[in-house]
Amino acid sequence: MSNTKPRIVITMGDPSGVGPEIIAAALADPSIRRICRPLVIGDAGAMARGIAIAGTDLRVLRSSSFIPEDFSDALPILEITNLADEDMRFGSPSIAGGEAMFRAICEAARLCLAGDADAIATAPISKEAMNRAGHLYPGHTELLAELTGAERVVMMLAGTQLRVTLVTIHESLADVPRLVTFEGVLDTVRITHRDVHRYFKRDPRISVLALNPHCGEGGMFGDEEGRIIAPAVEAARREGIDVVGPLSADTLFHFAVQGDYDAVVCMYHDQGLIPLKLLHFDDGVNVTLGLPIIRTSVDHGTAYNLAGTGRASAESMKAAIRMAADMALVKASGEGEL
């Protein structure tokens, strides 16, 4: 890590959504500027508009690299597009905007892989717009996995009281039972254990949820627990991982938030994200585990109904930047590797 503070690249996300204004609000916060050197990747016009909406007095500073720490009134931006007004109307994601989102993520990954940035914090994209622009990925997670050559990545959402990781991510609910596999559960437990240990909590205690009510009730309501999840948990235990499960999803979170578990492995998106957002809508962070680079994100989407109003909370964006900076410091220290 060059200099003293972690260098965090912040991708602008969808210019039609709340991304630019929450980034501006976050970077106007002195507590954020104290802990990192930021570089936004995106569109200078969209960011200037975001600065005005957020009501900050930052000034856009076009720059091809990180700027000195004492320029705290500047919002440094690596400009990769020059979008027309009609391509960034609030609430109307465009194909040009989708292309801009994609290019920002690619450039951020390139900088981190080259060692020219220490971590990425991403603002929300429209997955639909990125796909309509011809980039066929369910989200950042899968795109970053491909860009960095990561074989298997895991989506984690984290707050102070709860961390959840997902075996399946953006899948139709109807497909989930088929996609919950022995390898998928085991790999998710392994990656959760390795990266939570490295960055968040030494020797984490992990629980794994059931897929079906009452753990399948002895096979009456499904057999994935006995056939797939329990053997994967047992295999992880044999590797020395402190993990239990499958456990009934309806009660487990009650115990997890009391501190019984450092991470909860969930079978599908809403199983984990509903409790997480109930507790941590404002300060939750999405982290991609298993990448060779550090990537955090807000826990929310583009919030089209709020875009341009200045009413969107910037707290999750700030939490994502803080977590990226903390993780970069851990990585630089070389601590925590198994």
Ligand X SMILES: NC(=O)C1=CN([C@@H]2O[C@H](COP(=O)(O)OP(=O)(O)OC[C@H]3O[C@@H](n4cnc5c(N)ncnc54)[C@H](O)[C@@H]3O)[C@@H](O)[C@H]2O)C=CC1
Binding of ligand LD2JLWAY at residue 286 (CB under 6 A)?
yes
CB of 277 to ligand LD2JLWAY, least distance (A): 9
Element (H or E) spanning 27, and its range? helix 19-27
Q: How far is the CB of 52 from ligand LD2JLWAY (least distance, A)?
A: 27
Q: Does 165 bind ligand LD2JLWAY (CB under 6 A)?
A: no
Nearer to ligand X, 51 or 125 (CB): 125
Nearest approach in angstroms of CB 266 to ligand LD2JLWAY is 12
* Residue 189: C-alpha distances to residues 186, 232, 264 (Å): 5, 9, 9
Q: How far is the CB of 249 from ligand X (least distance, A)?
A: 21
Q: Which residues does 191 contact at the CB level (< 8 Å), separation at least 6? A: 152, 153, 154, 165, 289, 290
Classify 146 in phi/psi space as left (phi over 0), alpha (psi -120 to 50) or beta.
alpha
DSSP state of 212: S
- Locate 163 and state its tokens: 């961390």
Does 141 appear as a known binding residue? Answer: yes
266 CB-near residues (< 8 Å, 6+ apart): 164, 165, 166, 167, 209, 249, 272
* Alpha-helical segments (H) within 223-281: 224, 230-238, 249-255, 269-280
**3 lies in the binding site for ligand X (CB under 6 A):** no
Closer to ligand LD2JLWAY by CB, 75 or 109: give it: 109
Considering only residues 11, 16, 126, 141, which one is a binding residue for ligand LD2JLWAY as defined by CB under 6 A?
141
d(CA 55, CA 48) in angstroms, rounded, equals 11
Please tell me whether residue 312 binds ligand X under the rule CB under 6 A.
Answer: yes
Residue tagged 């991510």 (tokens): 169
Q: Which of 128, 239, 250, 270 binds ligand X (CB under 6 A)?
A: 128
Q: Which residues bind ligand LD2JLWAY (CB under 6 A)?
A: 139-141, 273, 286, 297
Q: Which residues bind ligand X (CB under 6 A)?
A: 18, 22, 124-128, 140, 286, 297-298, 300-303, 305-306, 312-313
**Binding-site entries for a divalent metal cation:** 170, 214, 269
